[in-house]
């Protein structure tokens, strides 16, 4: 007797046949939106949260109900990980900040210096006190980024890679992609003076963010649902913001 076919995880059919290629290709426009939001004119800064919302929309549009379940968009079977995840994420952010300070002090090569500079390019945020800056930075950073990035990287991207290459390669691939897109936060920038590259600090930042992506995948696996990675990512961003503005 023939076993029933597994429910399709992707839609429509043309995406199903080449899901990995489609999802990886989506990184190009997503990266462009992020670059514009971080380094473009102030009038286009909304491109950054728009990119996070697009990540969320792609997950909803391309995954079937079966795909969403396999990606981890389910109830959390081990809910204590909703507390453990943010603690681990915060510790990772504090450790990465401490390493940057040990290597580069508070200079421009410190990755959190670039995060701060990009945030303070917003005149409204720059006019606030440090606690107000932290709050104005952190609320969007825990509302948009964790949900959009985790649904895309640990959900949609990992699932599309896993179907062809297996779980370990999928985790590694999503971690590398996560690290690469964060080079736009530190390592590669442009402005009125042209393109600015920070090769060594940028490479270190890429490695650290790829490792953070691996940690978020591990949190998702241990907690049994994607929401654990979302919570861990929110903890990372909140702790990073505290370091950046204090």
Mean pLDDT of the chain: 92
Instruction: Convert the pLDDT of each residue in 30-80 to its tens digit.
Output: 999 999 999 888 888 899 999 999 999 999 999 999 999 999 999 999 999
CA distances from 60 to 74, 81, 102, 146 (A): 14, 24, 42, 16
Residue 191 pLDDT:
67
Give residue 4's pLDDT band: very low, low, confident or very high (50, 70, 90): low
DSSP state of 8: P
Residue 47 pLDDT:
94
CA distance 199 to 108: 13
Residue 123 pLDDT:
82
Terminal-to-terminal C-alpha distance of the chain? 65
Residue 5 pLDDT:
57
Domain that holds residue 229: 13-245
What would the mean pLDDT of 149-154 be, rounded to a whole number? 97
pTM for the model stands at 0.94
> Which is higher by pLDDT, 195 or 176?
176
Counting residues of the chain whose pLDDT is more than 70, the rounded percentage is: 97
- Residue 224 resides in a domain: yes
- Residue 17 resides in a domain: yes
- Residue 222 resides in a domain: yes
Tell me the CB-side half-sphere exposure of residue 146, using CA atoms within 13 A: 25
Residue 43 pLDDT:
85
Indicate whether 1 pLDDT > 60. Answer: no
- Residue 2 resides in a domain: no
Counting residues of the chain whose pLDDT is more than 90, the rounded percentage is: 72
Among 244, 109, 118, 119, CA closest to 191? 118
- Residue 198 resides in a domain: yes
Q: Which range, 7-11, 38-42, 181-185, has the best average confidence (pLDDT)?
A: 181-185
- Residue 34 resides in a domain: yes
Instruction: Convert the pLDDT of each residue in 185-199 to its tens digit.
Output: 999 887 666 778 899
CB 56 within 8 A of CB 148: yes
Residue 192 pLDDT:
64
Task: Kindly tell me the burial class for residue 230, based on how many C-beta atoms sit within 10 Å of its own C-beta (0-12, 13-18, 19 or more).
Answer: buried
Give residue 218's pLDDT band: very low, low, confident or very high (50, 70, 90): very high
- Residue 103 resides in a domain: yes
Which of these ranges, 26-35, 121-130, 141-150, 215-224, has the smallest mean pLDDT?
121-130
Domains: count for the chain: 1
- Residue 8 resides in a domain: no
Residue 84 pLDDT:
97
Indicate whether 6 pLDDT > 80. Answer: no
């Amino acid at each position: 007797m023939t076993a029933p076919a597994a429910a399709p995880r992707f839609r429509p059919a043309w995406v199903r046949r080449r899901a990995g290629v489609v999802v990886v290709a989506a990184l190009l426009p997503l990266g462009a939106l992020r670059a514009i939001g971080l380094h473009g004119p102030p009038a286009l800064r909304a491109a950054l949260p728009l990119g996070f919302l697009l990540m969320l929309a792609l997950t909803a549009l391309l995954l079937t109900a079966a795909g969403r379940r396999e990606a981890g968009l389910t109830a959390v079977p081990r809910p204590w990980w909703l507390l453990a995840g943010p603690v681990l994420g915060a510790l990772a952010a504090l450790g990465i900040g401490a390493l940057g300070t040990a290597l580069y002090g508070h200079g421009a090569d410190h990755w959190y210096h670039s995060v701060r500079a990009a945030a303070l390019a917003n005149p409204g945020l720059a006019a606030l006190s440090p606690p107000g800056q932290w709050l104005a930075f952190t609320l969007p950073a825990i509302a948009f980024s964790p949900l959009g990035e985790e649904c895309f990287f640990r959900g949609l991207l990992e699932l599309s890679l896993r179907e062809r290459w297996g779980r370990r390669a999928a985790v590694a691939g999503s971690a590398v992609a996560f690290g690469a897109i964060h080079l736009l936060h530190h390592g590669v920038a442009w402005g009125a003076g042209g393109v600015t590259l920070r090769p060594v600090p940028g490479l270190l930042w890429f490695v650290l963010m790829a490792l953070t992506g691996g940690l978020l995948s591990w949190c998702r696996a241990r907690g049994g649902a994607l929401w654990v990675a979302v919570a861990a990512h929110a903890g990372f961003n909140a702790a990073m913001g505290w370091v950046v503005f204090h």
